[in-house]
Chains A and B, each alone.
Chain A
């Protein structure tokens, strides 16, 4: 078979890109070795935030939130702007966040520094006895990764995209710097354009194409927890506490409290949940919201952060191979970025340019030793 464009990876990034390309009239095929969303997408913590600390990420996330809003209405999946609440515990943190808020405000993200009392109004179960302030942006939010991903996939298919599940890329055929096709476990697909959207597995795909530059993306094991469901509206925003082990937590559509902490292992492709995690996540959550202590933990699980040295993804075109693109290495915040990344990359592929600051994610920056300011890598 033949396809104009082949996307390797059927996670949120791969399917949103397929959707954008199909919408632009391109003929596109997604290869997914298991089922749609089966990698890190369905294992992720649902959060969508614009509270970043550099211009590029703030701009991209501002656009992404616009798209989350638009597509959730158009495609009918839940996205709720319930905000992100960073709890701050000392002057140092407050100073840092004041700086970030100023930058976010300048770029049109309405973050505010609020008092512990205001934070408690937003999440009444919070223990604010040690909190001295909080960074609050009501336009951040959360979406259900499963419903969002399947909605984008279905819509892409309606527009003519082909999504091949249980189809694994085994090799990439490049002749004289030109892509000829992808070998899969189900046969050959001829194509001239490949996008590597395999995130945690991106280095394997890069190796198949013999990419001549260093793009260091490594899989790290992160874990999540979910509790028994509670009545709606108990913890609306994503609550973050850097002090307590980089904890993040919120309530899902279904009512359970979902979240994680900064316990990290790797590089590894192992996904076995650990004892350290379940202990540490419980300790941190009880500190932040003591009443969570009486809740039953139903499950823990693991997924990958595909990490780069500066926690920013590699997005762009690889010049040495015509035409190979990469969108991988999202370092824990890929779900939230996906709609904007898809738009950015679709424009790049079809028009050769984008209005979004894609150069920040330049895949060549590692080779050149120009690491970015480290992006905050949490949910």
Chain B
């Protein structure tokens, strides 16, 4: 077994890859980032300003593969003999090969569902007997946050979360076209239809649909502490995926930080990973990756990984991308929607993209929205019973705002954005009297990088609000623009 394998992998799939010249064991099907971590390698890339970076906090995971620069270690699968090297974000490939055989694929369907989590799965099951459905999922697996968990879910007969997903997906019929490993880039109006452009590997996919459901989920809160972006720091969702999808542990001794340790601790206990809970983290340190964490009181803990489990908030980028409005409610920005969950005409939202609640409530909401659409398209289905069941269990989770004490942190070493934007630079601008987040964005480059603010805008708003006294609901948040996720020019420009 490799240093961080939780269990033995299928030896028939074993391949050899090389990282910075050193041969390592990997298994077919694994992503590069996962295979490297299993071998104990956390530092894989270098930020624009020369900071060491891993693949599981924020910022891109750009590496050189077989001499080709700018490859995404989180999306690229290992191959036997593959040579992987570190690079900085500012490098680019000196030659380009465009595969002209990979022309854009076109599909025309009734309903496009973005997000293959439990919400998208629930909606698909409701629609598939009457309509054609495209289910678009960025990851290589369906089930979203539930697929990343093994703990039992009481509303699903106490079955294990990932087993629930497996059972439901098996019910898909021939009306369902599943696009796994497919990244949504944009949603455009095209006459009476919506055109969804997406990238599946190097191929552009164009899906024309009458209706769209955004089952695009929530994003984990990114916590503010010193060196919070260094290799060895994990977002909760990445850590869960490593454990339950790949069978790899983030570390041998893990510090769990954040206000929601209960969202990760049961999974760590289940596979027997040693952990401690560290309240009030101030700083992490280490040469190439995390070696210790220090809290505000000055206590030092020797660990090799830190998992941030600090709650989630709806990913507002897909919402604002299509022109949906947002409001601040229960500690999060959430979409403004009609009583049928429509955010603009023809585009619906469901699940934790809509509001934060438990998996089962999300699942019911996905099904409910599908039924609204069925009725809208002339297939008469009953709503009442499902709606009552949903309303009975729908308890929205209140997300308290971060209580981070800026005065206790070295702001120059605390990162608010993966593109080398320090908390210091944002605080300086706001202290200088600029409280308009649109201008803060331009002055600091906050939210102008690879993630389009997905992991930093909220914290930006918190900082502005904290320092200026302006309410969170009065802050003008920048709108997401296509592409929703970065895509290479050759993929989108292939003729």
Contact = CB atoms under 8 A, between A and B. Distances in A.
Interface of A: 35, 38, 42, 146, 227-231, 234, 254-255, 272-275, 278-279, 281-283, 285-286, 290-301
A253 B226 CA distance: 27
Interface stretch (B107-115, B142-150, B211-219, B487-495): B487-495
A285 B436 CA distance: 34
A231 B323 CA distance: 34
Among all A-B residue pairs, the 10 with the closest Cβ atoms: A282-B493, A293-B490, A296-B486, A293-B96, A294-B93, A231-B90, A282-B489, A283-B493, A275-B188, A282-B492
Nearest to B95: A291
B89 A35 contact: no
B92 interface: yes
A298 B190 CA distance: 23
B493 A273 contact: no
Given A229-B89, A230-B90, A294 B490 contact: yes
Contacts of B449: 298
B445 A254 contact: yes
A354 B445 CA distance: 40
A228 to B, nearest CB: 7
Contacts of A294: 68-70, 92-93, 96, 488-490
B489 A292 contact: yes
Contact of A275 (B91, B186, B436, B439): B186
Contacts of A229: 48, 89-90, 419
Nearest to B96: A293
B438 interface: yes
Contacts of A278: 185-186, 197, 482-483, 492
Contact of A227 (B48, B185, B419, B489): B489
A295 B436 contact: no
A230 B482 CA distance: 20
Contacts of B482: 273, 275, 278, 299-300
Interface of B: 48, 60, 68-70, 88-96, 98, 185-186, 188-190, 195, 197, 323, 419, 436, 438-439, 442-443, 445, 448-450, 452, 481-483, 486-490, 492-493, 495
A255 B436 contact: no
A273 B186 contact: yes
Of the listed residues B93, B443, B449, B493, the one surrounded by the most CB atoms of chain A closer than 10 A to its CB is: B493
B89 A286 contact: no
Contact of B70 (A231, A285, A296): A296
Given A255-B90, A282-B490, A298-B486, 16 more contacts: A146-B443, A228-B89, A231-B91, A273-B186, A273-B481, A273-B482, A278-B186, A282-B492, A283-B493, A283-B495, A286-B493, A291-B92, A294-B92, A294-B93, A294-B488, A298-B483
Given A283-B493, A293-B493, A275 B197 contact: yes
22 contacts: A35-B436, A230-B91, A231-B88, A234-B92, A254-B445, A255-B48, A273-B186, A278-B185, A278-B186, A279-B492, A282-B489, A290-B95, A293-B96, A296-B450, A296-B486, A297-B492, A298-B448, A298-B450, A298-B452, A299-B452, A300-B481, A301-B481
A285 B69 CA distance: 19
A297 B488 contact: yes
B362 to A, nearest CB: 29
A255 B195 CA distance: 31
A142 B68 CA distance: 32
A294 B93 CA distance: 6
Contacts of A228: 60, 70, 89, 450, 486
Contacts of B96: 286, 290-291, 293-294
Contacts of A254: 445, 448
A275 B483 contact: no
B442 to A, nearest CB: 5
A290 B189 CA distance: 30
A12 to B, nearest CB: 14
Contacts of B442: 42, 146
B439 A35 contact: yes
Contacts of B487: 296-297
A231 to B, nearest CB: 4
Nearest to B187: A275
A301 to B, nearest CB: 5
Contacts of B188: 272, 274-275
A283 to B, nearest CB: 4
Nearest to A277: B482
Nearest to B98: A293
A173 B489 CA distance: 51
B90 A293 contact: no
A285 B488 contact: no
Contacts of A230: 90-92
Contacts of A291: 92-96
A134 to B, nearest CB: 22
A283 B195 CA distance: 19
A175 to B, nearest CB: 37
Nearest to B190: A275
Nearest to B104: A279
Nearest to A144: B442
Contacts of B443: 146
A182 B323 CA distance: 33
Contacts of A283: 493, 495
A285 B109 CA distance: 32
A296 B195 contact: no
A189 B472 CA distance: 32
A167 to B, nearest CB: 14
Nearest to B493: A282
Contacts of B89: 228-229
Contacts of B48: 229, 255
A228 B98 CA distance: 19
Contacts of A295: 70, 92, 488-489
A64 to B, nearest CB: 23
Nearest to B420: A229
A233 B189 CA distance: 38
Contact of B489 (A38, A293, A299): A293
A229 B48 CA distance: 8
A143 to B, nearest CB: 14
B489 A285 contact: yes
